[in-house]
Structure 1
């Protein structure tokens, strides 16, 4: 069985608990969409690859440092239709 290439899909979202911070999520869907990886780009050019497994209500929680002294937890809700290609 041939290995399928990953499908790349970008989702731009705001997070209510990341005030004044806009996050762009680059979603990499794998075969059968069992898992995904997210690269998060914030106002401070922070980027990180975060593994994610589908959970109840499609909730994605992200922890990142927006500067040297602050750690912010962001919660994103993904709609079911956004998870399908």
Structure 2
């Protein structure tokens, strides 16, 4: 995920992950990169990503992320 500060202040944007399937994933709070925590994953995942301005969390945006997960020869593939 990638978010930008819409005003000219260019404050740091932080990321937070939530949703029913968030227990299987982790998000880097500084760059928005989502990774798996485990190899035991559901066949699909719905996540909620919240990006917010570090100095004013009320300035935020939410994205809903859906991914179908396929495991091929012990390598994960996301659709």
TM-score of the pair, normalised by structure 1: 0.31
- Structure number having the greater helix percentage: 1
Q: Indicate the structure whose relative CO is greater, using CA pairs within 8 Å and at least 6 residues apart.
A: 2
- Greater C-alpha Rg: 2
TM-score of the pair, normalised by structure 2: 0.32
